[in-house]
Structure 1
Amino acid sequence: MQVSASARRAPWLVFLGCCVLSFLGFGVIVNTPGQYFSTLRAVFHVSQSAVALTVTVQMLMGSLMLVVGGKILERYDSRKVLFLCVAVVALSFLACSFVTAFWQFYVIFAIMGAAYAIPVLLAPQALLSNWFEKRLGMVMGIALGLSGLAGALFQPIVVAWMSTLGWRGSYALTAGLFALIALPCTLLLRFAPDKSRGEFAYGHDEEEHTQKPTAAGSGVTPRQAFRSWAFAFFVLSMVLLQIASGLVQHVATFEKDMGLAPLAAASVVTGIMIGAAVGKGSIGALLDRFNAVVVVLTYVFFGVAGWLIILFIHVPSLATLGGVLAGIGQGYLLVAIPWMIREHFGAGHYAQIYARAALVSNVMLALSTGLHGVLYDVTGKSYLLSFSLTLVGYVLATVLGLVAFTYQRTRLS
């Protein structure tokens, strides 16, 4: 059967749409709220913890939405679902520009959290898994790697908007960004190839398509996956690695405590974001081409080395290098583990299976930032225990993830 040009383009259009969602979603929704904290605190005369709670509410609502997010994507037209979700995100940012009492932010961020979960936290991994049988690691790595690049780009952009337009104008401009760029891209994002239109996942063997299921039709059921020890191991790995993700928010404070100037301390955080873009963007392609165990161990080595440098070396240039290495290590959590889950359980119900893992992971992320703050206070303003937990978590997460993955490959080969 000859495949039309439009059918051949379809996987790459889905890839393009996923890149946009990841770039704007993580770059703006996840990475820029902190830029508003000091301004909102001064304007509404509230505490830092009260402002930070808006992000916790957003993340917890997003995690709850993941309970049903996978089923929603599988059951309904993904384009309509994603269009609605992105539209709500855009309207939420617009609503922020009209806030008159601080409690209104809690309501808006709760709505935004429920809306952004499917298009940002779930859709890129789920859709790419259905549309790519080959080069899945590469496209997933690039799409998710853009989130790190976006984090480094949008923070100074939002600061510039706030300085010229004010915080209300910045929120309104962000709403326009989602409405004009992200919203149209959702129309490209169909959940899986339509065989009646001659569409198949990229890399599918067209000559055998009548005998072999496509990626979107293979794999174990969610019930089978959830009852397996391998799923538990993957989830525990993600939870342990989120300890490091939560510590990222405290790196600037730690470096300033160690004597670095504010700008030098901020450069370490920028280094982490740049490293994350490199790590997520490169690890996927390497997973496609080389032994996954070797690739994962290499990136974990970079991550552990980076956190050790941040902990012990407080020379600005070397601390920034440590930040880059720590960021590269994030490729294990954000690309390698989703890739391994898909390799383990198949793509048939990947959206539901990954959504459940991401739910637990994101709850831990929502809690870990506060956890490090508590540890800092109870240990006499020290981050040593937080760094120790991060390093131990890296090691345990690596063991758990690779045991599950290598056992599966031995058992099914």
Structure 2
Amino acid sequence: MKIHYAWVIFLGCCIISFVGFGLTINTAGLFWGGMSTDLNLTRAEIALNATFGGIAGAVSLLFAGTVFKKVNTKLLLSLSFGITGLCFIACSFIQSVTPFYGIKVVLGVMQSISIVISIPILLGNWFEKKLGILFGITGALTAVGGSFFNPIISHLILEHGWRTTYIIVGIICLVVLLPTALLMKFKPENGLLPYGAETNHTVAESNQAVNNVEANGLSIKEASRTPIFYSFIIAIICFQAAGSLAQHVPALIQSLNFSLQVGASVMSALLIGAAIGKLLMGFMLDHVKPVIVLLIFTLLGASGWYSTGVFNNVVFLNGSGFLSGMGQAIVLTAIPLLIRGSFGTKDYSQILSIILMFGAFANAVSVYIHGSMFDQTHSYSASLILNVVAYTIGFLCLAFAIQFRKRMTT
């Protein structure tokens, strides 16, 4: 029995999630402590690298969806992964913060194109069925990868220093992600339909079916005229602003007089929670009303962040990190699925990339804001409270979008 090429795409997306997200994005905060000491930087100054990188990535998302349509996917991803690996290697040679900011700007663009936007676009193009669980699996692997790599990177930094560790990360990117790029294709071709679409057609009928699939839904111009579009924007701003605090988790735990190893442990717990949360959310979205699923995960995420400021025990802190991670499933699993369900597949890549752009801006700015508030108050308490507020507003916006979409289809 011939395997549908969609499953090769899915395998590639899993690798990108595990190594791309898990290693290159989810371990970023572990380098900050050593760099702050060696380069004599404040917490806000070191966090500003994420702000610059996030803003650059956000700007790139404005045109990333169009670039994916017009540029060969193998070439685009190969260049992006190659530059990403070289940027990490370059980080090991910096002697001041200014070139570090420049490298992070380039990284922000490359990671947004090759990691952040590529997975939902490719899965959305190649699958008609099982999208919920597949988004859940790839989303879970971002966290599984982070929980796998966090203790390893933490150990390498402590034993060999952050400069050597940056080189190791860069080499892993080049060795693992470059070959993966060669497997990827933007969408089915030559009459091949997405997995789950009807396949009992002649070639001509199949081509017509493909055209019908691509034409289904709203254009970017039509989507931008609906209140749902702006509800998604506000929601992703809120959830990404809250999620940006995850980059401070190792430093947050150290501010509570715990070691970097404990900070890495809590970060791993957060990522394990995110993995389980994304997998569970993907399954639930295929079987349970979305608003109920969102309410459950909003409560879990908000309670996780709030309780981090309450507990002063390693076990309880790991539990708080786990719950905070479960709440992060909303961004990578629920929002892309709800966007596709609300606007269809016609201009999905462009609509998704624009909405994600606002989230990326929020993430970039909020990382710096969290760092600045810590520098002013010597505490992350205000950030933890703001996260609870952000989760509440984000949930209300998504609940509105779901209800409005129902009215549009009835």
Question: What TM-score, normalized by structure 1, do the two folds share?
Answer: 0.90
Alpha-carbon displacement from aligned partner over 1:375-411 (angstroms, at most 9, x marks no partner): 3455x44544333322122122111112112321332
Correspondent of 2:199 among 202, 206, 210: 206
* Partner residue in 1 for 2:393: 396
Distance (whole Å) between structure 1 residues aligned to residue 38 and residue 378 of structure 2: 28
Amino acid at match of 1:240: C
Pairwise CA distance, 1:369: 2.1
Match of 2:67 among 59, 63, 72: 72
2:349 counterpart (335, 348, 351): 351
Match in the other structure for 2:155: 160
1:185 is displaced (CA, Å) by 0.8
Q: Given residue 369 of structure 1, which amino acid in structure 2 is its aligned partner?
A: V
* Equivalences, count: 405
Q: Tell me the amino acid that sits aligned with residue 192 of structure 2.
A: E
Q: Aligned AA for 1:331?
A: A
Kept after mapping to 2: 8 A contact 1:135/1:285: no
Q: Is the 8 A contact 1:131 1:216 kept in 2?
A: no
Q: Are the aligned partners of 1:58 and 1:111 in contact in 2 as well (CA < 8 Å)? A: yes
1:109 is aligned to 2:107: no
Matched, 1:81 2:79: no
Contact 1:272 1:324 survives alignment (8 Å):
yes
The alpha-carbon distance between structure 1 residues 40 and 310, as it changes in their structure 2 partners (threshold 3 A), is closer
Residue of structure 1 equivalent to 2:360: 362
Q: Aligned partners of 1:172, 1:80: CA distance in 2, in Å?
A: 24
Structure 1 pair 178–217 and aligned structure 2 pair: CA distance change class (3 A) = farther
What letter corresponds to residue 403 of structure 1 in structure 2? F
Q: How does 1:176-187 map to 2 (within 5 A)?
A: 176-187=171-182
Report the CA distance shift for 1:359/1:161 in structure 2 as closer, same or farther (over 3 A). Answer: same
Change (3 A) 1:409 1:202: farther
Partner of 1:127: 122
**Which moves more between the two structures, 288-297 or 32-41?**
32-41
Unpaired stretches in structure 2, ≥5 consecutive residues: none
Partner letter of residue 193 of structure 1?
P
Q: Which amino acid aligns with 2:153?
A: V
1:35 to 1, 5, 30: 30
Q: Could you tell me which of 133, 158, 181 is aligned with 1:138?
A: 133
2:317 — aligned with what?
319
Within-5 A mapping of 1:276-315: 276-315=274-313
Alignment of 1:230-249 (within 5 A): 230-249=228-247
Other structure's SS at 1:9 match: coil
Change (3 A) 1:99 1:31: same
Residue type of the partner of 1:149?
Answer: V
Cα distance in structure 2, aligned partners of 1:270 and 1:184: 27
Residue 12 of structure 2 is matched in structure 1 by 17
Q: Which moved more, 1:28-37 or 1:97-106?
A: 97-106
* Distance in 2 between residues matched to 1:393 and 1:102, nearest whole Å: 31
Shift of 1:253: 5.1
- How far 1:62 moved relative to its partner? 1.0
* SS of alignment partner, residue 316 of structure 2: helix
Amino acid at match of 2:366: S
5+ long unaligned stretches in structure 1: none
CA 1:40–1:392 in structure 2 vs 1: closer, same or farther (change >3 Å)?
closer
Q: Normalised by the size of structure 2, how large is the TM-score? A: 0.90
**For the structure 1 residues 251 and 52, does the alpha-carbon distance in structure 2 shift closer, same or farther, using more than 3 Å as the test?**
closer
- Looking at structure 2, the residues matched to 102 and 382 of structure 1 have their Cα atoms a distance apart, in angstroms, of 24
SS at match of 1:188: coil
Q: Check the 8 A contact 2:254/2:263 in 1, yes or no.
A: yes
| 1:243 to 1:167, Cα distance in 2 relative to 1, 3 A | closer
Match for residue 408 of structure 1 among 401, 405, 408: 405
> Distance between the aligned counterparts of 2:149 and 2:276, measured in 1?
17
1:63–1:360 contact (8 Å) kept in structure 2 = yes
The structural deviation recorded for 1:262 is 6.1
Amino acid of the residue matched to residue 64 of structure 1? V
Counterpart of 2:332 in structure 1 is 334
2:57 and 2:161 map into 1 onto residues whose CA distance is: 28
Cα shift at 1:49 = 3.6
Deviates more, 1:293-302 or 1:245-254: 245-254
1:52 paired to 2:44: no
1:188 aligns with 2:186: no
Instruction: For 2:126, give the aligned amino acid.
Output: W
The 3 A distance-change label for structure 1 pair 313 and 350 is same
Q: Residue 149 of structure 1 contacts residue 277 of structure 1 at CA under 8 Å; is this kept in 2?
A: yes
Q: Which moved more, 1:151-160 or 1:111-120?
A: 151-160
Letter matched to residue 318 of structure 2? T
Work out the CA distance in 1 between the residues paired with 2:400 and 2:76: 36
Listed one character per residue, the Cα deviations across residues 220-267 of structure 1 (whole Å, up to 9, x for unaligned) are 111111222101001100111123212334445555666667655553
| Kept in 2: contact 1:71–1:352 (CA 8 A) | yes
State how far apart, in whole Å, the 2-side matches of 1:106 and 1:346 are.
38
Code of the aligned partner of 1:218: N
* RMSD over aligned Cα atoms: 2.5
Match in the other structure for 1:222: 220
| C-alpha separation in 2, matches of 1:292 and 1:17 | 28
Q: Distance in 2 between matches of 1:34 and 1:348?
A: 37
Q: Is the 8 A contact 1:132 1:215 kept in 2?
A: no
Tell me if structure 2 keeps the 8 A contact 1:133–1:215.
no
Q: Alpha-carbon deviation of 1:308?
A: 3.6
State which of 350, 360, 370 in structure 2 corresponds to 1:372.
370
Identity %: 30
Contact 2:141 2:275 survives alignment (8 Å) = yes
Q: Report the alpha carbon displacement of residue 83 of structure 1 after superposing the two structures with TM.
A: 1.2
